[in-house]
């Protein structure tokens, strides 16, 4: 994106969505020295989007395992600029639950030693059967061609289908590029095919991935600082304001319509809210996430910061232990857990607590909690957490005809399954009048 030639000094800029992408863009535009009137519209009661923190009785809960990690120098500088000295550097400790046991991720020889021998043997045989498929179209094609059918069927298929609610054969291969290959996080550890995965298991490189986290509050603290900067420079961050669409005149976007605050005139619109609001008939779909924040009476032995669960008979897909990000995320002597359940069922959205008994039974079965030690549990529905990459999603994106004066950004706006560092990098590039290439989408 290049700055429109007719963007006049002082022209109103409206950013729809106060998540990490929208806030970063607004913070940079208000710091640019240009005479811009910048307004951020956020539908929730506080900014942050998916990077929000909920608090109750001294317990702090993020929406899953949010943390800052990047290989982009410009993003790293920006993170440190916003946080200053008010951050901690933490080593990562992530797990995957397979065959009834917690195993470190990335996988090591020790962590897979307890897998059933038939699984290990069939995976070994897959080394000699691998080869590129004639055509890689689906998530299933991509994973099988790189990891073999055995590992695909043993873990990736069930986890993916439980997580997305879609058949692995109905998902675009970009879902694997965006999710599976990036999940390792550390660039020194490759897991792009079965050989690399097994090599990493048998001859593991030392992994000491570290990430930033605010030294006070939760991940929300970072977003609050961004909002403070925006407001201190004359910009506005307006919460409880739901955008419903845009006004277009003569092929140019001229304003943002809202549900409860009328229309905001604009010279430039950056849209990071779900693109499905702008194009309701285009077929864009998102997953929602039910989050259960659980406070516990005493510290448990859950040794991970976050853990993935692929078994279909477990209702949750991921668990996070806030205390392992910072000890004071819970009162002294206490503990907590965040359980994530991705859903597409409307009844579950309306009544998420109907899952309580099943969730607690499943958590007890994997020894994550003792239900008798629960102080409280809070349930929240977080809408549009992940885009669904069906087989036709690229054609939908490429077929969009955007009016001038409108730019799509962020996870929901540009329909891009990304991490916070990608959203920040995209916003930094746009603020400078440049573009930001998706890390896995080579066109």
* Lowest mean pLDDT segment, chosen from 27-31, 188-192, 371-375: 188-192
In the chain, % of residues over pLDDT 70:
83
Choose among 162, 161, 126, 159: nearest CA to 144. Answer: 126
CB 176 within 8 A of CB 163: no
Answer whether residue 8 shows pLDDT above 90.
no
**Where residue 253 falls among pLDDT bands split at 50, 70, 90?**
very high
Q: Quick one: average pLDDT of 181-196?
A: 47
pLDDT number for residue 154: 78
Answer whether residue 238 shows pLDDT above 80.
yes
Choose among 256, 228, 226, 227: nearest CA to 242. Answer: 256
Work out the angle between the directed axes of helices 194-202 and 139-147 (0-180°, nearest 10).
50
d(CA 172, CA 217): 38
Answer whether residue 351 shows pLDDT above 90.
no
Choose among 52, 428, 411, 42: nearest CA to 237. Answer: 42
CB 138 within 8 A of CB 171: yes
Answer whether residue 186 shows pLDDT above 50.
no
pLDDT number for residue 119: 66
CB 107 within 8 A of CB 197: yes
Number of Cα atoms under 13 Å in the Cβ half of residue 220: 14
Domains observed in the chain: 12-51+69-90+216-283+390-431 (3.50.50.60), 105-202 (no CATH), 286-387 (3.90.660.10)
In the chain, % of residues over pLDDT 90:
64
Q: Quick one: average pLDDT of 366-385?
A: 96
Considering only residues 142 and 192, tell me which one the structure prediction assigns the higher pLDDT: 142
CB 427 within 8 A of CB 74: no
Answer whether residue 54 shows pLDDT above 80.
yes
Q: Quick one: average pLDDT of 365-369?
A: 96
Answer whether residue 71 shows pLDDT above 80.
yes
pLDDT number for residue 123: 63
Q: Which two tokens stand for residue 166?
A: 């879609």
User: Can you name the residues that pair with 247 across neighbouring β-strands?
Assistant: 255
- What DSSP line would sit under 148-180, residue for residue? -HHHIIIIIHHHHHHHHSS-GGGBBTHHIIIII
Task: Report the run of H or E that residue 379 belongs to, with start and end.
Answer: strand 374-387
Helices (H), 36-138: 73-83, 109-112, 117-126
Q: Which two tokens stand for residue 418?
A: 């990304």
Task: Report the run of H or E that residue 290 belongs to, with start and end.
Answer: strand 286-296
d(CA 343, CA 307): 19
pLDDT number for residue 199: 54
d(CA 155, CA 161): 10
* Mean pLDDT of the residues in the chain: 86
CB 295 within 8 A of CB 56: yes
Choose among 175, 193, 215, 437: nearest CA to 329. Answer: 215
pLDDT number for residue 443: 38
| Maximum alpha-carbon separation in the chain | 68
d(CA 388, CA 404): 27
Answer whether residue 116 shows pLDDT above 90.
no
Reported as a single tens digit per residue, the pLDDT across 24-50 is 999 999 999 888 999 999 999 999 999
Question: In the sheet that 263-265 helps form, which strands lie side by side, from edge to edge?
Answer: 243-249, 252-258, 263-265
CB burial of 304-324 (b: ≥16 within 10 Å; e: otherwise) equals bbbbbbbbeebbbbbbbbbbb
d(CA 324, CA 344): 30
Helices (H), 84-116: 109-112
C-alpha distance from residue 350 to each of 62, 145, 290, 344, 382 (Å): 22, 40, 10, 11, 12
CB 106 within 8 A of CB 184: yes
Answer whether residue 271 shows pLDDT above 80.
yes
* Lowest mean pLDDT segment, chosen from 28-37, 119-128, 165-174, 417-426: 119-128
d(CA 56, CA 329): 11
pLDDT number for residue 345: 63
CB burial of 90-99 (b: ≥16 within 10 Å; e: otherwise) equals bebebbbbbe
Choose among 244, 239, 270: nearest CA to 258. Answer: 244
């Amino acid at each position: 994106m290049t700055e429109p030639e007719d963007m006049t000094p002082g022209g109103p800029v409206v950013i729809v969505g106060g998540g990490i992408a929208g806030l970063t863009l607004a913070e940079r535009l208000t710091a640019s020295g240009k005479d811009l009137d910048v307004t951020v519209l956020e539908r929730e009661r506080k900014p942050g989007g998916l990077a929000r923190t909920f608090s109750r009785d001294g317990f702090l809960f993020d929406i899953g395992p949010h943390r800052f990690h990047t290989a982009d120098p410009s993003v790293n500088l920006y993170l440190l600029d916003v946080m200053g000295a008010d951050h901690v550097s933490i080593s990562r400790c992530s797990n995957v639950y397979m065959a009834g046991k917690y195993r470190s991720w990335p996988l090591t020889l020790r962590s897979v030693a307890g897998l059933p021998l038939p699984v290990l043997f069939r995976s070994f045989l897959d080394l000699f059967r691998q080869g590129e498929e004639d055509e890689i179209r689906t998530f299933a094609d991509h994973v099988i061609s790189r990891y073999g059918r055995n590992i695909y069927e043993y873990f990736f298929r069930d986890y993916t289908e439980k997580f997305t609610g879609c058949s692995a054969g109905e998902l675009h291969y970009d879902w694997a590029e965006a999710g599976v290959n990036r999940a390792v996080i550390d660039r020194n550890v490759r897991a792009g095919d079965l050989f690399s995965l097994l090599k990493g298991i048998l001859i593991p490189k030392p992994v000491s991935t570290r990430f930033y986290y605010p030294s006070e509050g939760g991940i929300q603290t970072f977003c609050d600082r961004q909002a403070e900067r925006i407001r201190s420079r004359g910009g506005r961050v307006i919460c409880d304001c739901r955008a419903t669409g845009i006004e277009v005149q003569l092929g140019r976007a001229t304003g943002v319509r809202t549900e409860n605050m009328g229309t905001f005139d604009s010279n430039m619109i950056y849209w990071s809210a779900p693109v499905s609001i702008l194009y309701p008939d285009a077929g864009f779909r998102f997953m929602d996430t039910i989050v259960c924040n659980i406070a516990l009476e005493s510290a448990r032995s859950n040794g991970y910061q976050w853990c993935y669960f692929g078994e279909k008979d477990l209702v949750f897909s991921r668990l996070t232990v806030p205390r392992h990000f910072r000890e004071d995320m819970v009162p002294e002597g206490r503990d907590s857990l965040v359980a994530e359940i991705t859903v597409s069922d409307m009844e579950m959205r309306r009544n998420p607590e109907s899952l309580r008994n099943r969730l607690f039974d499943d958590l007890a079965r994997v020894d994550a909690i003792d239900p008798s030690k629960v102080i409280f549990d809070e349930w929240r529905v977080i809408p549009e957490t992940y885009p669904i990459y069906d087989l036709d999603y690229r054609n939908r994106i490429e077929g969009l005809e955007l009016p001038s004066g409108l730019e799509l950004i962020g996870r929901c706006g540009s329909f891009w399954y990304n991490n916070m560092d990608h959203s920040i990098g995209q916003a930094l590039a746009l603020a400078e009048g440049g573009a930001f290439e998706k890390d896995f989408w080579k066109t």
